[in-house]
Amino acid sequence: MNIKKLIAVLAVFALILAACDAGGGGDEETTPTTAATDDGGTDDGGGTDDGGGDTGAQTGGSVLDEVIARGTLNCGVNETLPGFGSKDEAGVFVGFDIDLCRAVAAAVLGDSEAVSYSALTAAQRFEALASGSIDMLSRNTTWTQSRDGELALTFAPTTYYDGQQVMARAADGFDSGSTLSDLEGAVVCTNAGTTTEKNITEATQAVGASITLTTFEDFNIVLQNFKDGACDAVTTDGSGLISRKSTDEPAAGDWVIFPAVPISKEPLGPGTAQGDALWSDAVRWTVFALIIAEEQGINSANVDDMLANPPNGEVERLLGAGDEKQSAMGLPADAFYNVISQVGNYGEIYDRHLTPLGLERGLNALWSDGGLIFAPPAR
């Protein structure tokens, strides 16, 4: 373990103690630490470095080297969120966030199956990253300032733009037009260690509604309490509510999601431990490659044709031919060919896991279709 990782681990333990003292288990209300060992501002998702061997932050080797030497990517994921991260009947991890782990393994190792998954609750996820027990986190995690700073993460580009909503029972008089004011006197439940806890407290206070907020570590327990009637409402990312409504609602129409306009911004995406620019660039550019592939119309079915007859220079470079840019990042030249052929492009991943839940592209459409999904050029 290099010195930066050690500092980060100690800082996270201090944060966990502080959170326990506060009795909330949340990560947002902790005190600043000196853990930040950033690489100079490349974690803005905007790609301010040139990808040309930005190894200045490395002192004891990059996680990129560790993953290559190990031959397996350790990825921290969710197992309770169908569509994003869960296990299928055969016990295999599947979902949108799972495919992001698979894409990074394909880019770095040439094998999307070379992933060892760790199922983590929200409260466990940041310690797992700081301790080095996982190489990357891909678990419906919101990019926030305190997670960048106090918790020393580096976020990859946002892969799903979300917002927090509330779900309650139609039988209690709630409908899709309900507002936060209608929660007056309600017991509202969510899981600990999330952005959700603070958002709902601030948002209900702002409209003068008095609620009782109850948190549990595991979202399964949150839902069980909701089903048992101990919670009048549950709140989390809108996508999480839609996911669990699709699997847990007793009968169609029993549960309603409101308010119509989400109460927060929840940009979700993968994260890595701060201070390892080479590794965070590898994860970042894997996400960008998924997006550029969709922009360019490259998918898992036509990628061989695209490589044989690239329609333009960007496709040629992205797939590892011509003046490719992957080698200068410590990746194989064909890293993104492997990603697209084995996992597909961003739109394929979205359609495979999220479209079946009824989640429309909306904000998560490509920028060229009026959405927010954008990547810098592969040049």
Ligand X SMILES: N[C@@H](CCC(=O)N[C@@H](CS)C(=O)NCC(=O)O)C(=O)O
Among 141, 154, 326, 338, binds ligand X (CB under 6 A): 141
Instruction: Kindly state the smallest distance separating residue 50's Cβ from ligand X, in Å.
Output: 30
Instruction: Kindly state the smallest distance separating residue 85's Cβ from ligand X, in Å.
Output: 8
Would you give the binding string for ligand X spanning residues 81-100, x where CB under 6 A is met? Answer: x-------------------
- Are 221 and 228 in contact by the 8 Å Cβ rule? The answer is no
Among 37, 62, 78, 112, binds ligand X (CB under 6 A): 78
Residues 271-330 that bind ligand X (CB under 6 A): none
Would you give the binding string for ligand X spanning residues 107-126, x where CB under 6 A is met? Answer: --------------xx----
Q: Which is nearer to ligand X, 30 or 142 (CB)?
A: 142
What 47-54 contacts at long range (C-beta under 8 Å, 24+ apart), as own/partner pairs, is 47/284, 47/285, 47/288, 47/376, 49/277, 49/281, 51/281, 51/285, 51/325, 51/328, 51/329, 52/328, 52/329, 53/328, 53/329, 53/330, 54/277, 54/278, 54/281
Q: Which is nearer to ligand X, 65 or 248 (CB)?
A: 248
Max alpha carbon distance in the chain (Å)?
64
Q: Which is nearer to ligand X, 140 or 158 (CB)?
A: 140
Would you give the binding string for ligand X spanning residues 202-241, x where CB under 6 A is met? Answer: ----------------xx----------------xx--x-
Q: What is the distance between the alpha carbons of residues 235 and 240, in angstroms, rounded to a whole number?
A: 9
Q: Which is nearer to ligand X, 163 or 320 (CB)?
A: 163
Q: Which is nearer to ligand X, 58 or 140 (CB)?
A: 140
Evaluate the omega torsion of the peptide bond into residue 259 and state whether it is cis, within 30 degrees of 0: yes
Among 86, 138, 142, 342, binds ligand X (CB under 6 A): 142
Q: Which is nearer to ligand X, 141 or 178 (CB)?
A: 141
Nearest to 15 by CA among 187, 149, 156, 180: 149
Would you give the binding string for ligand X spanning residues 2-41, x where CB under 6 A is met? Answer: ----------------------------------------
- Are 279 and 73 in contact by the 8 Å Cβ rule? The answer is no
Q: What is the DSSP string of 132-173?
A: TS-SEE-SS-B--HHHHHTT-EEEPPPSEEE-EEEEEEGGGT
Backbone angles phi, psi at 262, to 5 degrees: -55, 155
- Tokens linked to 37: 């060992």
Q: Which is nearer to ligand X, 64 or 129 (CB)?
A: 129
Residues 189-208 that bind ligand X (CB under 6 A): 191, 194-196
Cross-strand pairs, 200: none
CB neighbour list of residue 126: distance below 8 Å, 6 or more residues apart: 12, 15, 27, 137, 147, 151, 153, 193
What is the chain's length?
A: 379
Q: Which is nearer to ligand X, 27 or 54 (CB)?
A: 27
Residues that bind ligand X (rule: CB under 6 A) add up to a total of: 19
Instruction: Kindly state the smallest distance separating residue 162's Cβ from ligand X, in Å.
Output: 7
Q: Which is nearer to ligand X, 259 or 262 (CB)?
A: 262
- Are 281 and 51 in contact by the 8 Å Cβ rule? The answer is yes
Q: Which is nearer to ligand X, 159 or 326 (CB)?
A: 159
Q: Which stretch binds ligand X (CB under 6 A): 31-39, 92-100, 188-196, 252-260?
A: 188-196
DSSP symbol at 366 = B
Q: From start to end of 264-303, where are the E strands?
A: 266-268, 271-273
- Are β-strands 85-87 and 80-81 bridged in parallel, bridged antiparallel, or unpaired? antiparallel
Q: Which stretch binds ligand X (CB under 6 A): 2-10, 75-83, 102-110, 304-312?
A: 75-83
Is residue 159 within the footprint of ligand X (CB under 6 A)?
no
Instruction: Kindly state the smallest distance separating residue 361's Cβ from ligand X, in Å.
Output: 19
- Are 358 and 246 in contact by the 8 Å Cβ rule? The answer is yes
Residues 337-356 that bind ligand X (CB under 6 A): none
Kindly list the residues in this chain that would bind ligand X in the complex (CB under 6 A): 78, 80-81, 121-122, 140-142, 191, 194-196, 218-219, 236-237, 240, 266, 268
